[in-house]
Amino acid sequence: MKIRLWVAGVAVSLCAVSCSGGTQHSPAEGANNGGSTGVGGHASAGSLAQGGGVTVGPDTAIEDFPQVYAEAVCQLLNRCYTAATALVPPRCASYFERLFREEGFQPLAVAVADGRVEYHAAAVPQCLEAIATASCDFVLEENCLAVFVGTKQAGEACTLDSECVEQECVIGSSCPGVCAAPAALGEDCTSRRCAPELACQTDDAGAPKCAQTAKLGEACSASLRCRAYGFCSGLDPDDDSDTGTCVERGSLTKAKLDEPCEPLREPLCGDDLVCTTRVENDITVGSCRPRVASGSACTYSTPDACPDDEYCRITSDVGVKPATGTCMPKPGLGEECRYGSLGAAPCADGQFCHPDSKLCAQSKHLDEACSIDRECFSTRCSAAGKCVPLTECEEAGDP
């Protein structure tokens, strides 16, 4: 699978599972920002003093870029994905900084050192300013492509998207790939990203093609998705001919205590309430309920009704609806994370649930020994048994 340039597309990768009114979860659930600066506001990026003594400016060091970019991305996500959707990762800024550093930053930094990519520190403030002041139909990469600029023209050999002037390295069956333009409207997007403001979706024949997207306030449908973080409000998901209107998700948080709600859809709960499901006449419905205390009874809710760093451990029998349980601390190293036939618990930050032992294990950093992809923060364990970055391709094969 082709890996997109992380600096341009990582926030959009979150969007891919949820921007158009879908019901899938993002890679991590929760809404605890845990360190992001200026969340929810439209502060000037140039004036933001970042954590760890890093200040944004025209001379921002390349090694500091993952941190300042992660904090800016989390500002955007916290504005455009409300807490009621559970789509913003917990400890958002540290989560994305680690994602950037582990997945794509190392090969990008090497490409800069080799002269295949140019790093323009002077463009960093403008990039972050654009994110800080963006609306929720903001196309992220257009405003930040000036930070990392490729030196290779169309037709030249490449191993990373970022090496190419047009930020697209098309990979065939082997490396290297070839620099090319992003796929245009109606073109195949199986192995290429679509041009900005387009989305890759299957056409009537089931083929992945680049399709037009709608801005906030414009009409949307099953075949016309909302751009970036917009949500298609008023759309009947079971009617392919129905239409809605693209809106910000924050406008959907209107449901009050005990009023009906839909997890990840509309209406969403407001006032720090969660959408809790129950069964009425064999139909699962949701209603807005308060969060519960540690050790209290709980049921499936979006977001989780339990306190931070706890989860609702379901104890009811399989098939019983609604599923009920008790708020318990998230398991730590060596503790059970899969229980019963279907039960699953989220491990503490920096850990993963090992599929064989069903116990929480420590995730590994780059170059550390591993045996499976899931063991690595980068989600890639090489054939040589060590964690490696995700790249579009590697000329020399797996290290």
Both 77 and 171 in a single domain? yes
Range of the domain at 316: 254-364
Arithmetic mean of pLDDT, 80-97: 86
Q: Assign 277 a pLDDT band (cuts: 50, 70, 90).
A: confident
Q: Which residues make Cβ contacts (< 8 Å) with residue 322, sequence separation at least 6?
A: 276, 277, 278, 279, 284, 299, 300
351 and 369, same domain (yes or no): no
Same domain for 315 and 397: no
Same domain, 11 and 151: yes
Q: pLDDT at residue 34 above 50? A: no
Q: Give the whole-angstrom CA distance, residue 327 versus residue 163.
A: 48
**278 and 232 belong to one structural domain:** no
Q: What is the pLDDT of residue 58?
A: 85
Contact (Cβ atoms closer than 8 angstroms) between residue 224 and residue 215: no
pLDDT band at residue 347 using 50, 70 and 90 as cut-offs: very high
DSSP-derived pairing of the beta strands 268-269 and 243-247: unpaired
355 and 394 share one domain: no
153 and 213, same domain (yes or no): no
Taking residue 154's Cβ as centre, other Cβ atoms within 10 Å add up to 13
- Average pLDDT (186-200) is 90
Among 333, 370, 277, 303, smallest CA distance to 85 is for 303
pLDDT in tens, 295-323: 999 998 999 999 988 999 988 887 777 78
Q: Which residue has the tokens 């519960």?
A: 292
The torsion region of residue 363 among left (phi > 0), alpha (psi -120 to 50) and beta comes to: beta
What is the amino acid identity at position 286? G
Give 397 or 59, the one with higher predicted confidence.
59
Residue 373 lies in a domain: yes
Confidence at residue 169, expressed as pLDDT on a 0 to 100 scale: 92
Say yes or no to pLDDT of 174 above 90: no
* Residues in contact with 265: Cβ distance below 8 Å, sequence separation at least 6, in sequence order: 21, 23, 237
Do residues 57 and 156 both lie within one domain? yes
69 within a domain of the structure (yes/no): yes
Note whether residue 18 is domain-resident. Answer: yes
Return the SS3 of 149. strand
Contact 395, 175 (CB under 8 A): yes
Beta bridge mates, 150: 117
Q: Is residue 279 part of a domain?
A: yes
**Is the pLDDT at 13 greater than 80, yes or no?**
no
Residue ranges of the alpha helices (H) in the chain? 6-15, 65-80, 92-100, 106-114, 124-132
Domain end marker among 208, 227, 252:
252
CB atoms within 10 A of CB 355: 10
Does 369 lie in the same domain as 353?
no
Q: What is the pLDDT of residue 259?
A: 95
Which pLDDT belongs to residue 246?
Answer: 96
pLDDT at 29: 30
Taking residues 14-41, what's their average pLDDT?
A: 31
| Residue 245 pLDDT level (bands cut at 50, 70, 90) | very high
Between helix 65-80 and helix 6-15 the angle, nearest 10°, is 20
| 122 within domain boundaries | yes
Terminal-to-terminal C-alpha distance of the chain: 18
253 close to 84: Cβ distance less than 8 angstroms: yes
Does 30 have pLDDT greater than 50? no
Mean pLDDT for 237-259 is 91
337 and 392 fall within a common domain: no
Confidence of residue 231 (pLDDT cuts 50, 70, 90): very high
Please count the other Cβ atoms lying within 10 Å of the Cβ belonging to residue 374.
15
Judgement on whether residues 69 and 101 belong to the same structural domain of the protein:
yes
Distance CA 116, CA 161 (A): 11
| CA-atom Rg of the chain in angstroms | 22
Residue 188 lies in a domain: no
For residue 9, give both structure tokens.
Answer: 């597309």
Same domain for 39 and 152? yes
Please say if the pLDDT value at position 262 is more than 60. Answer: yes
Tell me the average pLDDT across 273-279: 87
Number of H helices, E strands in the chain: 5, 24
Beta strands in 264-319 (DSSP E): 268-269, 274-280, 283-289, 297-299, 301-302, 310-314
Report the pLDDT value the prediction gives residue 397, as an integer from 0 to 100.
46
Per the CB < 8 A criterion, the answer to whether 301 and 275 are in contact is yes
Tens digit of each residue's pLDDT (9 = 90 or more) over 45-69: 333 334 455 677 789 999 999 999 9
Structurally, the chain folds into a number of domains equal to: 4
Nearest-angstrom CA–CA distance, 247 and 231: 5
CB 219 within 8 A of CB 243: yes
The pLDDT value recorded for residue 142 is: 65
Is residue 44 over pLDDT 70? Answer: no
Position with higher pLDDT, 372 vs 36: 372
Tell me: cis bond preceding 196? Omega within 30 of 0 counts: no
Report residue 261's pLDDT band, with 50, 70 and 90 as the boundaries.
very high
